[in-house]
Amino acid sequence: MDPDTDIGGAQQRFPVTNQSAIAAARSEDHVVRQRAFDTILTSYWKPAYKYIRLKWQANNEDAKDLTQGFFANVFEKNHFANYDARKASFQTFLRTCLDGFVANERKERTRLKRGGDANHFQLDFLSAEDELAMQTSSDLSPEDYFHREWVRWMFTMSVDALRERCEASGRKIHFQLFEAYDLHDDPDSSVSYASLAKTFELEPATVNNYLAATRREFRRIVLDKLREITATDEEYRNEARSLLGVDVK
Amino acid sequence: MKWLSDSKLSHLRAVVGNPDFSGTKYAFVKELARGGMGTVYLAEDTELNRQVAIKVLSATEISDDLRRRMIREAQIIARLEHPGIVPVHDVGVLADGRVFYAMKLVRGVRLDEYAANTSSTRERLRKFQAVCDAVAFAHAHGVIHRDLKPQNIMIGSFGEVLVLDWGVAKILRDDRGPAASEADTLLLPGPDQPKPDTTSDTSQGTVIGTRQYMSPEQARGEVDRLDERSDIYSLGAVFYFLLTDQAPNDDKPRAVNPRVTKPAEAVCLKAMARDRSNRYASAAELSADVSRLLDAEPVSAYRENVYEKVSRWVSKNRFLVLLVLAYLLMRIFFIFTSRS
């Protein structure tokens, strides 16, 4: 029987500001720090879990414990306060910390059993396992794999945020068009603006406008998310250029 | 929360990175090419129902002053109406703050691709001469390109030659006004561009262009000293490529390709002289020497000895020489036969 924990799903939070959560993690204010930590956890737990599964060849149960343990550990000891943006990107810092943690845990064989007073996070490990099963093998280095999965997770969260925003503002059809055209199983398929116009009983120009507006909003969400989970303006700009090919403020 | 496959992820990244043309008359079609300074897209001009190439610069963070200047300078480039210069149809700013230029969509191959399929030196020389003529025209209007290289030259479907990517051009003087300063660089994007071999900050001491095809003064970042002769160097470097199929290096053309003639090598080396005062004074002069090479005439860059003069004359007048030889042989034959 698979003892995977329940999903966080809809409870997962999205930023209300585009301030860097990494910077906020150093705050003296516990509430601010807690919120920043939640953001970092939300943004990084899945890539971290998959990374442990693949790079460290951990089984499902060990990977869950190590993921939980890692984030509990960095939060309890406030490791993020030690992050120095001049030395590496936050992503690299976090991955290095993760490697160190896993190596240490394995070496001492004193894996923490989460429970009692220890932090325990609601993480959707089952979905992470499903995704691992769907992924084909690749020649990526562990570092590149971690980065790719982080990008995938960031876009996944952004799509969910877009859906929530569209539904909350009565623009459900905007998201449906976006889903039909841009989240189609085969992006190169024959879905066209004309076919969408017919399906949704809209003018092609309206489809064009709705899609343009939705993509614009999606872009904003991705950039806000990126801003939030990068430590410095420089890292934010580098990631934006690397991921999206644009220079941003 | 649906899992995003690799193809979906790739598509979404493109969707986010692709320009938002809302508010313009253009509709996005697809990405064509990506460079250090921006990305070129295929777009549909919805008013004129034609496809255009749109270059969207990467930088979003530019001041109003800079934006105005870039637009003014794009207007100057747009005035370069020459069959060898890709016309700029439009310039504007996207909703996200990025500047774009709409240009004629050129269908064809790049000069390096063309060279890979064309072994004829004469054909290559003709194309190069057309490049020189286009650059000479721009120089005559006070514009220097600053990034001439085979990748920025297209050979169209009908053999026409087009010089592309005037995005880093410098306006030396405006026909409508006084001489311009470095402030009149067409493109001044932000400081965070990736810098493989191309950089985009044009302040004094930094470089812009592509190193292998860049003049020494340009490579040193002596922006204020750049003039037409910097483009002459780059043209020489392009000529080097056409002669040798290699990007310029320390070897002379004949060391790379022994079939290169001495006059052709001399033309190339004169254009690529490290001291710019030793280069051709204008692209038109260079073009004239290339024309002489095509016509087997003596070039200004090379002083021939008597043997070479005779050889070239014989080579050029081969038919006449053969006729004379035939006539002489016949005369000799008749003399001998009449005696016997």
Q: Which of B20, B65, B133, B147 is catalytic?
A: B147
Tokens representing B270 are 């004169």
Q: Which residues of B touch A128 (CB under 8 A)?
A: none
User: What is the mean pLDDT of the segment spanning A20-43?
Assistant: 83
Question: What's the pLDDT tens digit per position in B222-266?
Answer: 877 889 999 999 999 999 999 999 999 989 999 999 999 999 999
pTM for the full model?
A: 0.58
Nearest to A246 among B3, B7, B58 (CB): B58
B61 touches chain A (CB under 8 A): yes
Active site residue B295: no
Nearest to A249 among B4, B27, B60 (CB): B60
Does the pLDDT at position B178 exceed 80? no
Question: What's the pLDDT tens digit per position in A168-222?
Answer: 999 999 999 998 888 876 655 667 778 888 889 988 778 878 888 888 889 889 8
Q: Mind giving me the DSSP string for B272-338?
A: T-SSGGGS-SSHHHHHHHHHHHHTTPPPTT----HHHHHHHHHHHTHHHHHHHHHHHHHHHHHHHHH
pLDDT at A14: 31
Q: What is the mean pLDDT of chain B?
A: 81
Nearest to B1 among A160, A183, A248 (CB): A160
Question: What's the pLDDT tens digit per position in A100-143?
Answer: 888 888 777 654 555 445 556 777 787 777 777 777 666 778 88
Does the pLDDT at position A55 exceed 90? no
pLDDT at B257: 95
Tokens representing A111 are 């894996």
B11 touches chain A (CB under 8 A): yes
Does the pLDDT at position A167 exceed 90? yes
Say if CB B2 and CB A183 are below 8 A apart: yes
pLDDT at B11: 81
- Residue (of B124, B128, B68, B129) closest to B93 by Cα position: B68
The residue of chain A nearest to residue B12, with distances taken between CA atoms, is A182
User: Rounded to the nearest 5°, which phi and psi values hold at B79?
Assistant: -80, -10
Q: Which residues of A touch B18 (CB under 8 A)?
A: 215
B20 touches chain A (CB under 8 A): yes
Tell which A residues from 14 to 43 touch B, by Cβ distance under 8 Å.
none
Do the chains contact at B98 and A218, CB–CB below 8 Å? no
The residues, any chain, with a CB within 8 Å of residue A35's CB and separated by 6 or more, are: A21, A24
Question: What's the pLDDT tens digit per position in B187-231?
Answer: 333 333 333 333 333 434 445 556 789 999 988 888 778 899 999
Tokens representing B321 are 């020489």
A222 touches chain B (CB under 8 A): yes
